[in-house]
Amino acid sequence: MMERMVESAAQLVLLVALAPLVTGVIRTLKARLQTRRGPQIFQPYRNLFKLFRKGMVIPQTASWIFAATPWVVFFSTILAGLMIPMVAADAPLGLIGGALAVIYLLGLGRFFLALSGLDTGSSFGGLGSSREMTISALAEPAMMMAIFTVAIGAGSTGLTEIAGAAIGQTWRFLAPAQMFAFAALAVVLIAETGRIPVDNPATHLELTMIHEGMILEYSGPYLALVEWAASIKQLVLMTLLINCFWPVGLQHTWFGFGALIGIGWLLAKLLLLSCAIVLVETVNAKMRLFRVPELLAVAFTLGSLALVSTFLF
Amino acid sequence: MTSVFFLSGVVVWVAGALACLALWRRPVEARRVGCAAALTGSLLDLVGSSAALVNGSSATIDLHLGNAILSWAIRIDPLSAYFNVTLAVLASAVSLYSFGYLREMEGRRNLSAFGFFFNLLLLSLALVFTASNVFFFLVAWEVMALSAFCLVSFEDEKEEARKAGVLFLVMSHAGTGLLLIAFLMLASVGATLEFSSFHHLASAMSPLWQSAVFLLFLFGFGVKAGLVPVHIWLPDAHPVAPSNVSALMSGIVIKTGIYGMARVFFDFYGPTPIWMGTVVLALGVVSALLGVLYALMEHDLKRLLAWHSIENIGIILMGFGAALMFRALDQPNLAALALIAGLYHTFNHATFKGLLFLGAGSVVQSTHTRNMEKMGGLIRLMPVTAICFLVGAVAISGLPPLNGFVSEWLTYQALLAGFGTTQSLTRLMFPIAGSLLALTAALAAACFVKAFAIPFLALPRSEQASNAREASPTMRAGMATLAVACIALGLGATWLIRIFDPITQQTIGVSASSALVTARGMALSPGTPHGGTISTFGMALIFVFAGAAFALPLALRWRRCSVKGPAWDCGLPGLTADNEYTATAFSKALRLIFSALYRPRREIQAEYEVSPYYPSAIRFESEIEPTIEKHLYEPVKQRVLAAARRMRAIQAGSINAYLAYIFITLIVLLLFGVRG
């Protein structure tokens, strides 16, 4: 029990502290690749610090849903984050939920975010909510197919078991089933974290925004919470992707010197994945909204291929 | 003890029904007596059935009144007790709600008749779940259908109510016809008509008959359950009924179909060929997906909820189908898991759908419209209704930590475990069903964002919505009861899962709960080796702790430095309800993406006075095509009408001709008789 508390606390700190850094690194790398100087990688921390000190403007039209949403989103994202293996295969709150619980907890956050988008009465909020719910619904079958594939390989939807089964099999990701499932989840990751070509996290152009549309009316500390939660969600999904498919460096427990090595590997793998995301974002243009279903259909096909190849190869 | 409480419940319902008739000209008393009797009867039934369920015992009540063919035998075994508990929980909340809900109708409508049929409906439901004789069951089944019909078309001055009632009655009787044939075919194998001697009776039939009887039962019960493609009455009938009746219809009346399937497939049938399970699973997937897709396009709040009943019946049947497949594959533990998933979802759906219909009823009563586009901002005027509706919306979307999540999680686990049970390609059914369940659940979440946000959030979109009033105290109490039930069924999953042991013992022959609960009763696990676990209680605990320790103090502090301001309105002078996103707009993206199914049609007419840039009036019309009605029922209807036209030739109206027909028929029958 005590060990669990320590593990949870350590992972909690890692989650909330690392998430803005990942966002910052991706922004800076992207700027460099586009031959801009870009902000420093620590800029997201400064933004959060600034927002937390500000006052806020609450729309007159909004109800208590608007005030409750940042909390629900923040806590459900963190809870999901404590259910995934980050440094050690043993997820701190693995008992409380596995892969399905992570997806549904993120779904809970999204549900409230979409409600608050509609709560303000401004049409941008509704527009963002509608698109967010549509795209996430279409991403779901692909995600579930990929998770089924991974879970069938490990015999469990428990992420501790999934990561535990992968430890020591450094090159397993070269198996066809794993590669297809990885590709499917990577597309889902891009859709779920609102990145190009599905959504543009940097835009405030009204016709194209999805996530930014929903949170348009937030300001001050609430905006900080929502943005922080968004970067934690991104970190959670990225970690899930790298640790399930490429568990190199994943430790068996949080305790001992191994944890430092584990953290080192985690950072290295996150950096690699960030580079990949930056590359995808830079060489692609944002898609038309109604082309996105096609992309997600491709992801679903990849997921199905992954499943079929578990017994073909 | 079970029998005593159950019988007193029955007596109270009968007395309530008769008392309502006696109070024919006194609506106030009729309302009070009718609701009080319904509530008392439900509570008595709740005590009796829960006792049976907790003890895992069966009680038989035989009044020795009937004969060998129609004995009035009542048997409360664990499966019956489970459905009775579901009925009793829902019915007590609905009866409580009805005290306030019906007050509005006093003097305008005949509340005596309402009270009579309401009590009769509850009585017949309890008897459907417990009748232990074929004909007794069918009598109860018919009384249920007829009293439901009377309640559905209660507001009979509306044409849509009359039409929906007739459609319900026609479909319901078609289903009963199938059931009658099926029961008689089944009974012809055994010696009696008693359910107690039907256990695994179907195995005695030849495979062909077994299959035929199976399909008859599937569609016969499927009509009542709202299974696609025999669901067409449901989205018409549920919304037009008074809302307390809608709650019962969606919450429990359609579950009689589910009860029938559970009873027949798991009790009367032994292990079945695998294709039967596959068919049920496939129909479940189709029902779930089509249900939610059509729900997304609805802007009539109650019709939207009705479509979601079809979706949830689909999810329940996915559990049942998987259970049948596992039984065919000789995997009793997995079969128990899948059956529990289906049964758990049955109870859960009764609570959250009942809750949502009651919430919709409060909204409709105070805004006088079912059209969501005319609502809005109700969260300020009806705070309790709003929060109850929100609980229902989160639960039905399958989001943690409420009850919908638990049963959907169990369903996922069953489907996931199914992949390894066979080497044939049938196993691909499981992951495909699982991913389509994921799509269904996510679309349901999208739909309930709409169903909660459009009526309750932002600004009122009409005069009626801005004058809405909060529901009366009894109505709020009824809704709160079901909201608490949703939370309890979610958080208490590990404790409640034990009540399924006698049921799985009875139907499949194993007890699953000890394998399903791990970590000293704190977490739920699918019972398979290395299965993942969830603990809704743990999640709730963390949420509550985090909320109390961080959210509350910080929110109070930040509140001091916050100001109210207008929302961004693109620089126009002030935000009005016209700027808001509508329900139609919210579902537009999905309407375009799934246009192959919906075949949407829209028409825009604009009138100009000066230039096309300044239209003086715009008329917008948008509709989608009811695919199943058009392509499945329309041809059948046309054929039937054409056949009827052709038959007109022999219906000349001459009495001599008719006598000749009778004579010929008689001769043919006699010839048959001689041959036999």
- How far apart are the C-alpha atoms of A295 and A195, rounded to whole Å? 13
Neighboring chain A residues of B441 at a CB cutoff of 8 Å:
140
Q: Are B284 and B320 in contact (CB under 8 A)?
A: yes
Residue B529 has pLDDT above 70, yes or no: no
pLDDT of residue A206: 66
A161 and B530: CB-CB below 8 Å? Answer: yes
Neighboring chain B residues of A60 at a CB cutoff of 8 Å:
564-567
pLDDT less than 70: residues of chain A: 170, 206, 313
pLDDT of residue B531: 67
Structure confidence at residue B124 as a pLDDT band (50, 70, 90): very high
B533 and A97: CB-CB below 8 Å? Answer: yes
Which DSSP helix (H) or strand (E) runs through B562?
A: strand B562-565
Q: Are B69 and B16 in contact (CB under 8 A)?
A: no
Alpha helix positions (H), A82-205? 99-119, 123-154, 159-166, 176-192
A64 and B379: CB-CB below 8 Å? Answer: yes
CA distance A174 to chain B (A): 23
Residue B612 has pLDDT above 70, yes or no: yes
Tokens describing residue B92: 């007590």
Instruction: Decide: residue B610, CB within 10 A, 0-12 exposed, 13-18 middle, 19+ buried.
Output: exposed
Neighboring chain A residues of B580 at a CB cutoff of 8 Å:
118, 121-123, 126
pLDDT of residue B164: 92
CA distance B320 to chain A (A): 20
B608, β-bridge pairs: B615
Q: What is the overall mean pLDDT for chain B?
A: 90
- How far apart are the C-alpha atoms of A13 and A41, rounded to whole Å? 19
pLDDT of residue B288: 96
B538 and A93: CB-CB below 8 Å? Answer: yes
Structure confidence at residue B509 as a pLDDT band (50, 70, 90): confident
- Out of A71, A95, A155, whose CB is closest to B535? A95
- How far apart are the C-alpha atoms of A22 and A30, rounded to whole Å? 12
Q: Which has the minimum average pLDDT: A231-235, A296-300, B108-112, B129-133?
A: B108-112
- Out of B453, B531, B555, whose CB is closest to A158? B531
Neighboring chain A residues of B413 at a CB cutoff of 8 Å:
157
Neighboring chain A residues of B591 at a CB cutoff of 8 Å:
none
Residue of chain A whose Cα is closest to the Cα of B447: A133
Instruction: Give the count of alpha carbons within 13 A of B24, CB side only.
Output: 2
Q: How far from chain centre, in Å, is Cα A74? A: 13
Q: Are B560 and A208 in contact (CB under 8 A)?
A: no
**CA distances (Å), origin B99, targets A85, B9, B81, B385:** 53, 19, 27, 16
Which amino acid is present at B203?
S
Which bin fits B106, alpha (ψ -120 to 50), beta or left (φ > 0)?
Answer: beta
pLDDT of residue B158: 87
**Phi and psi at residue B602, in whole multiples of 5°?**
-140, 155
Mutate to test the interface with B, among A93, A148, A226 (most CBs of B within 10 A): A148
Which bin fits B599, alpha (ψ -120 to 50), beta or left (φ > 0)?
Answer: left
A122 and B457: CB-CB below 8 Å? Answer: no
Neighboring chain A residues of B457 at a CB cutoff of 8 Å:
63, 65, 115, 118-119, 121
pLDDT: is A250 or B260 the higher one? B260
Neighboring chain A residues of B417 at a CB cutoff of 8 Å:
none
A282-287: which pairs have CB atoms within 8 A and are 24 or more residues apart?
A282/A30, A282/A33, A282/A34, A284/A196, A284/A197, A285/A196, A285/A197, A286/A196, A286/A197, A286/A198, A286/A199, A286/A200, A286/A208, A287/A197, A287/A198
Q: Which sign does the torsion angle of CA B495, B496, B497, B500 carry?
A: positive
pLDDT of residue B362: 95
What is the secondary structure of A13-43 as a DSSP string?
HHHHHHHHHHHHHHHHHHHHHTT-----TTH
Residue of chain A whose Cα is closest to the Cα of B569: A122
Nearest to A181 by CA among A46, A301, A37, A25: A301
B457 and A151: CB-CB below 8 Å? Answer: no
CA distance B487 to chain A (A): 15
What is the secondary structure of B316-376 as a DSSP string?
HHHHHHHHHHHHHTT-HHHHHHHHHHHHHHHHHHHHHHHHHHHHHHHHHHHHS--BGGG--
B564 and A152: CB-CB below 8 Å? Answer: no
B74, β-bridge pairs: B61, B131
CA distance B240 to chain A (A): 28
- How far apart are the C-alpha atoms of B427 and A195, rounded to whole Å? 35
Neighboring chain B residues of A127 at a CB cutoff of 8 Å:
581, 585
B131, β-bridge pairs: B74
A130 and B586: CB-CB below 8 Å? Answer: yes
A56 and B534: CB-CB below 8 Å? Answer: no
- How far apart are the C-alpha atoms of B324 and B318, rounded to whole Å? 10
Neighboring chain A residues of B555 at a CB cutoff of 8 Å:
67, 71
CA distance A134 to chain B (A): 6
Neighboring chain B residues of A149 at a CB cutoff of 8 Å:
431
**CA distances (Å), origin B209, targets A274, B264, B529, B598:** 62, 15, 38, 38
**How many other C-beta atoms can be found within 10 angstroms of the C-beta atom of residue B303?**
22
A104 and B449: CB-CB below 8 Å? Answer: no
**CA distances (Å), origin A9, targets A81, A92, A97, A158, B523:** 12, 9, 17, 20, 21
Which DSSP helix (H) or strand (E) runs through B179?
A: helix B159-187
pLDDT of residue B91: 96
Q: What is the pLDDT of residues A122-138, one digit of tens each?
A: 888 899 999 999 999 99
- Out of B420, B449, B523, whose CB is closest to A95? B523
Nearest to B249 by CA among B230, B229, B265, B233: B233
Residue of chain B whose Cα is closest to the Cα of A146: B435
- How far apart are the C-alpha atoms of B232 and B254, rounded to whole Å? 13
Instruction: Judge if the upstream peptide bond of residue A197 is cis by omega within 30 degrees of 0.
Output: yes
**DSSP conformation class of B468:** -
Give the residue-averaged pLDDT of B646-668: 87
**CA distances (Å), origin B534, targets A250, B73, B432:** 23, 42, 23
pLDDT of residue B311: 96
- How far apart are the C-alpha atoms of B638 and A26, rounded to whole Å? 63
Residue B450 has pLDDT above 70, yes or no: yes
pLDDT of residue A155: 74
- How far apart are the C-alpha atoms of A240 and A103, rounded to whole Å? 11
Q: What is the pLDDT of residues B186-214, one digit of tens each?
A: 888 877 888 888 888 888 888 899 999 99
Neighboring chain A residues of B397 at a CB cutoff of 8 Å:
107, 111
B459 and A56: CB-CB below 8 Å? Answer: no
A157 and B568: CB-CB below 8 Å? Answer: no
Mutate to test the interface with A, among B373, B387, B389, B399 (most CBs of A within 10 A): B399
pLDDT of residue B577: 83
**DSSP conformation class of B470:** P
Neighboring chain B residues of A158 at a CB cutoff of 8 Å:
530-533
CA distance A280 to chain B (A): 25
CA distance A157 to chain B (A): 5
Neighboring chain A residues of B459 at a CB cutoff of 8 Å:
61, 121
- How far apart are the C-alpha atoms of B498 and B521, rounded to whole Å? 11
Give the residue-averaged pLDDT of B389-415: 94
Q: Which residues contact B421 (CB under 8 A, 6 or more apart)?
A: B326, B329, B331, B334, B427
B239-253 burial, b for 16+ CB within 10 Å, e for fewer?
bbbbbbbbbbbbbbb
- How far apart are the C-alpha atoms of B163 and B628, rounded to whole Å? 19
- How far apart are the C-alpha atoms of B300 and B288, rounded to whole Å? 19
Q: Which residues contact B662 (CB under 8 A, 6 or more apart)?
A: none
**Percent of chain B with pLDDT strictly greater than 70:** 99
Neighboring chain B residues of A118 at a CB cutoff of 8 Å:
449, 453-454, 457-458, 580-581, 586
**DSSP conformation class of B663:** H
- How far apart are the C-alpha atoms of A74 and A232, rounded to whole Å? 9
**How many other C-beta atoms can be found within 10 angstroms of the C-beta atom of residue B204?**
12
A60 and B580: CB-CB below 8 Å? Answer: no
Structure confidence at residue B281 as a pLDDT band (50, 70, 90): very high
- Out of B400, B432, B568, whose CB is closest to A122? B568
Q: Are A213 and A127 in contact (CB under 8 A)?
A: yes
Q: Is B658 helix (H, G, I), strand (E, B) or coil?
A: helix
Q: Are B237 and B336 in contact (CB under 8 A)?
A: no
**DSSP conformation class of B158:** S
